[in-house]
Structure 1
Amino acid sequence: MKSLMIQGTSSGAGKTTLVAALCRIFSDKGYRVAPFKSQNMSNFAYVTPEFEISRAQAIQAIGSRCEITPDLNPILLKPIGNYNSIVYLNGKRYKKMHAKEYYEKFVNQKGIDVAVKSLKILQKNYDLVILEGAGSPAEINLQKFDIANMRIAQKANASVLLVSDIDKGGSFASLVGTMALIEKKYQKLVKGFIFNKFRGDLDVLKPGFKKLKNITKIPVVGTIPLIPLDLPEEDSLNATPKDIQWTKRNISKIDNELNKLAKTVESNLDIQSIEKMLK
């Protein structure tokens, strides 16, 4: 059983897309792979008569070529405004919760137990579980309530790759700052950095890579170019949910797009080094 986790310096860094690509890359290498996100806040859902999970994990499962089950996303929060969300556990509607109740009475009791149970099921049934974090692991105001980043990485015994969106600027500072704010007991889990959405001459970045490694002792394992994608949109502040018909034709389109994405990501990541990190 091996586990790899993708965390980000911010929301929108590219965690979801990168996990989907890595799922396809390692599936092509012969691993039985499953994606996992312990807690996802999204109104973009994959809905069946039996259960409902985040659409992102369903697309990652297509990348993995694994069965889509509630264990891939055991906690789904659908925001409804005024700091309230409808909480789904293991694909079933649980209850409406205010953020205060969710943080103070749920995550560190029932929430973490639900997440770890699903994680262990996947680890038992697959060769490799690729976990996706949420937001940033360095939200120091919420770290004691965070069951989607470092705590779950530790539970999974996962190597963590930290990705930053360089198109937004400030990536070097974001990576160094994130490492400084992660609790010391978790810092050793981070094994590599990834720069995402880069456009330009890679040679211009390389002196920064050396300085970054001198400061953090952590290597850069890849720089992913800004890629035009034709995949269903993940939830974001600027997104408007659109229903997907999960027909064979649409799944085939997603599958083809994942193949193209995986080829680009694989050619820009040190996959051999990442394989060596796997525990």
Structure 2
Amino acid sequence: MTASTLMIQGTSSGAGKTTLVTALCRILSDEGYKVAPFKSQNMSSYSYVGEKFEISRAQAIQAIAARTEITPMINPILLKPLGNYNSHVFVKGISYGKMHAQDYYKKFALYKGLTESKNSLDHLLQTNDIVILEGAGSPAEINLQQYDIANMKMAEYCKAPVILVTDIDKGGSFASIVGTLTLLEKRHQKFIKGFVINKFRGDVTILYPSYSVLKKKTGKPVFGTIPLIDFDIPDEDSLHSNPKQISWSTKYLNVLDKEINHLSKIVEKNLDMKKIRGLLH
């Protein structure tokens, strides 16, 4: 068995990739699929500590949303920032040591990092119906593109269709979409199948003319617009100075499960899930 795949990438950090993957994991799990999240490389100060392993907290929460086991396979590379361009590197949940960013990119990312990521993804593809991949930052960071093992290298490896999500609350979201596509290599542009507009306030109908312009410029559709949602699921810390601390108690997990259900229902209502399901192969 080889699982169907879908990848969520973003026009920037904080665009809503993690949230959208969390919601899709729950939506598809509710439909009876065996689903797993996957993020090859995650930089975060906040982690989930399991039995003899440590991975990103975000992927652990996504596994809870998917109702699947929390394992190192879903986040094979974790970078915990230490300051001064140094990070504590974890490989498949095990401490690998401290590494400077320059060494990480030039000596690790495209070698052990990419190999371990592909091996972990292969395992998930063989043991699930659907794997929802999450990118990191933006796939169009041209200064780091050659070392990027979290975005298009993963999409290309498993031939995953990509949905690009953007945060409209920040402004400049349509320019970010077009700019991201323009900066991608031609062979990678074809992986992007459409867009999701995230964190919108107001009447969505005022955006419809913009969607037509976007379709003409890119040839790709908008799969939906997600409103700015009030929910209590911990954020990643890349854009937040004080992310929520949590305890993995049974009481908290019950609260978290309800919040994931709340999120998934709103996301499902505002996305064209028929078209998204059609991307799965």
TM-score in same-fold range (> 0.5): yes
- Which one-letter code corresponds to 1:102 in the other structure? Y
CA shift, 1:70, in A, is: 0.2
In 2, distance between residues paired with 1:128 and 1:60? 13
CA shift, 1:44, in A, is: 0.5
* Counterpart mapping for 1:145-156 below 5 A: 145-156=147-158
In 1, distance between residues paired with 2:212 and 2:265? 26
Corresponding position of 2:201:
199
Corresponding position of 1:218:
220
Could you tell me which of 109, 112, 117 is aligned with 2:111?
A: 109
8 Å contact from structure 2 (residues 8, 162) kept in 1: yes
CA shift, 1:48, in A, is: 2.1
SS at match of 2:248: coil
- Which one-letter code corresponds to 2:43 in the other structure? M
Corresponding position of 1:57:
59
Structure 1, residues 159-215: CA drift from partner, whole Å, max 9, x if none? 100000000011110000000001111111101100000011111100000010000
Corresponding position of 2:136:
134
- Which one-letter code corresponds to 1:33 in the other structure? V
In 1, distance between residues paired with 2:256 and 2:273? 23
- Which one-letter code corresponds to 1:129 in the other structure? V
- Which one-letter code corresponds to 1:174 in the other structure? S
8 Å contact from structure 2 (residues 169, 199) kept in 1: yes
Corresponding position of 1:231:
233
Work out the percentage of aligned pairs sharing the same amino acid.
61
Structure 1, residues 86-131: CA drift from partner, whole Å, max 9, x if none? 0000000001100000000111111100000000000100000000
In 2, distance between residues paired with 1:31 and 1:66? 11
In 2, distance between residues paired with 1:56 and 1:4? 18
Could you tell me which of 162, 166, 169 is aligned with 1:167?
A: 169
- Which one-letter code corresponds to 1:119 in the other structure? L
Could you tell me which of 13, 16, 35 is aligned with 1:14?
A: 16
Q: Compute the RMSD of aligned alpha carbons.
A: 0.9
- Which one-letter code corresponds to 1:244 in the other structure? I
Q: Structure 1 stretches of 5 or more lacking a match? A: none
CA shift, 1:242, in A, is: 4.9
Query: Are 2:250 and 1:260 aligned?
Result: no
Corresponding position of 2:25:
23
CA shift, 1:245, in A, is: 1.9
TM-score between both structures, scaled by the size of structure 1: 0.98
In 2, distance between residues paired with 1:43 and 1:20? 19
CA shift, 1:241, in A, is: 5.0
8 Å contact from structure 1 (residues 87, 93) kept in 2: yes
Greater mean deviation of Cα atoms: 238-247 or 3-12: 238-247
8 Å contact from structure 2 (residues 14, 239) kept in 1: no
Structure 1, residues 232-256: CA drift from partner, whole Å, max 9, x if none? 2321242335542211111111100
8 Å contact from structure 2 (residues 234, 243) kept in 1: no
SS at match of 1:234: coil
8 Å contact from structure 1 (residues 43, 241) kept in 2: no
Q: Structure 2 stretches of 5 or more lacking a match? A: none
**Number of residue equivalences:** 279
In 2, distance between residues paired with 1:32 and 1:49? 23
CA shift, 1:229, in A, is: 1.4
The 4+ residue runs of structure 1 with deviation greater than 3 A are none
Residues 82 and 177 of structure 1: CA distance in aligned 2, closer, same or farther (over 3 Å): same
